Amino acid sequence: MQTDEKSPVGVATPNKANELTQKHYTLSDEESQVYIKDSYKFKEILALQKLPLDKKIAVSVTVIGQALTLGHAPAVAFSGGKDSQVVADLIERFFPDDFKRVHCIFGNTGIEFPESLRFAREYGREHFNERFHETQLSRLEEDELRYDFARQIVEELEDEGALDEILKPDGKLKGQKALVEAAKKRGYKLDRSRMFEKGHTKNFTYCVEQYGAPLLGKAASKLDAHRINIECFLKYSKTDSENEKTRDYYDILRECKFSQHCCKLLKKEPSERMQAQLGTDMIFKGLMASESHSRLTSFAVRGHIFASHRDHVDGAFYHVNPIGIWTDDDVWEYIRRFGLKYSPLYDVTYTASDGSLQHIKRNGCMMCGTDIQFRDNHLAVLRQTHPKAWNSCMERFGYREALYTLFKLKKNRNIFDSFADEGTSARMIEKFGDVSALFDVRPCAFDEFGELVDLTGTGLDSEYDAEILLEQNGQLKWV
């Protein structure tokens, strides 16, 4: 266990915590009825979050005990982060016999923090042995033209007046196969410079090229498709929206290439495929209502345990959130109390925008930029803690061009004018006018991106949660 005073855990104090049994963390029948419900009011959740850790552990133990009677093939969704680790430890510590049938599914997206990747593998193999499973990325089911070449083909067809070869009557793209056939018809040699072949791994590089970089929050009305499909839809489709927010979103999307599709390709699909292979009918997650408004809302509606459907399960598929009423402080207190090892990622520090020294607080995909509109966002921190990865985002994966385009489209003049001299980020962007020049002079200019743009009314100004999708009908859908 890390015991450095500078660590987020603090100094570990030896105690008899490991000797405490499930009996110590038990709820009365009356407490169970009050603390564990199918749904909650927000004020009830806030009240539960104020409970002492002993009582929260008792709630978690009770929830896990109830859940284990429902599922026959349970698994823990493990990220290498502290929250899912605590869930795994709760099951192993208080239900050692049942733990022997619990599998561990580590969702390796291919862009994990190296510290968490090493820890996840070490912890998983040590505690779960052969029941530790690492997801594998999906592969292409058919050939696809690469984005830039696909755009070239569309432009050629437009010049020829032959768009009907690839477009449906409503102006939407028929699909990738139509593009491939159009290119072959025109005699192009479809090598790897122009096409992703069937069987190609759907990795992060593929995802950014074909869909866009993971920037900004989830739009109220999202277009979740290949970038070339989106461009055809926006240019040729007669479909329009009467919703002003949606039209504004479309206007931004026409100019700026971004997408959150990587969450589906790198995380959701591989995890669900692994669950199907294992016959999993119950998944334990380390989600907490305190983490975000979307998770608070979801927990209020769904509670600790809720049932859904999966094609590989005849009956119900259960989602279990044992630490739903916990906070970050609770997690660290639990780690300290039981002397747990944790990912060294949390010992990495950075200087926050207010000048204070902070520890990395969240595990997750290393190159995620979905919170770019907020202060001390993921990429601003990454620039300090993992500069090579940050530089890859900006240079190799095109983040800086996309962010610069967005700034030029949606800069907030009121904020812009309130800044001081040319030394501030906003004025520097305006002064240099060229993103490459700006990048060379002030590589941290985008750290304050949220201060420089006005995304109000676009549907892009809200938080993005990779675990939860908000469907167009307003219903929450778990990933």
Identify whether residues 173 and 245 lie together within a single domain.
yes
User: What's the burial of 466, exposed, middle or buried (CB within 10 Å: 0-12/13-18/19+)?
Assistant: buried
Interior CA angle at 341 toward 335 and 345, to 5°?
Answer: 100
DSSP string, 236-291: H-----S-HHHHHHHHHHHH--B--THIIIIIIHHHHHHHHHHT--EEE----GGG
Q: Number of helices (H) and strands (E) in the chain: give both, helices first.
A: 22, 12
Q: Is the whole-model pTM more than 0.85?
A: no
Q: 37 and 84 share a domain?
A: yes
Asked if 109 and 183 sit in the same domain, the reply is no
Q: Are residues 198 and 286 in the same domain?
A: no
Q: Is residue 193 part of a domain?
A: yes
The reply to whether 462 falls in a domain is no
CATH number of the domain to which 26 belongs: 3.40.50.620
Residue 130 domain-assigned (yes or no)? yes
Report the relative pairing of strands 357-359 and 144-145 from DSSP bridges: unpaired
**Containing structural domain, residue 128:** 17-134+281-346
Measuring CA to CA, which residue among 190, 145, 135 is closest to residue 166? 145
Residues 198 and 174 in one domain: yes
Contact in structure between 207 and 269 (CB atoms under 8 Å): no
- Tell me: do 384 and 327 sit in the same domain: no
Residue-level pLDDT, tens digit, the chain, 479 residues: 444 445 565 533 334 444 456 667 889 899 999 999 999 999 999 999 999 999 999 999 999 999 999 989 999 999 999 999 999 999 999 999 999 999 999 999 999 999 999 999 999 999 999 999 999 999 999 999 999 999 999 999 999 999 999 999 999 999 999 999 999 999 999 999 999 999 999 999 999 999 999 987 654 446 789 999 999 999 998 776 667 777 788 888 888 888 989 999 999 999 999 999 999 999 999 999 998 888 899 999 999 999 999 999 999 999 999 999 999 999 999 999 999 999 999 999 999 988 999 999 988 899 998 888 778 888 889 999 999 999 999 889 998 888 888 777 766 333 232 222 334 555 445 544 555 555 554 545 556 555 555 556 555 555 545 554 434 333 434 43
**Domain tally, the chain:** 3
Q: What Cα–Cα distance (Å) separates residue 421 from each residue in 269, 415, 426, 441, 450?
A: 48, 13, 10, 16, 19
Token pair in block for residue 398: 């095109």
Residue 187 φ/ψ, nearest 5 degrees: 80, 15
Query: For the chain, how big is the Rg over CA atoms in Å?
Result: 24
Burial 292-312 (b: 16+ CB within 10 A, else e): bebbbbbbbebbbbbeeeeee
> Which token pair is 83?
């929250």
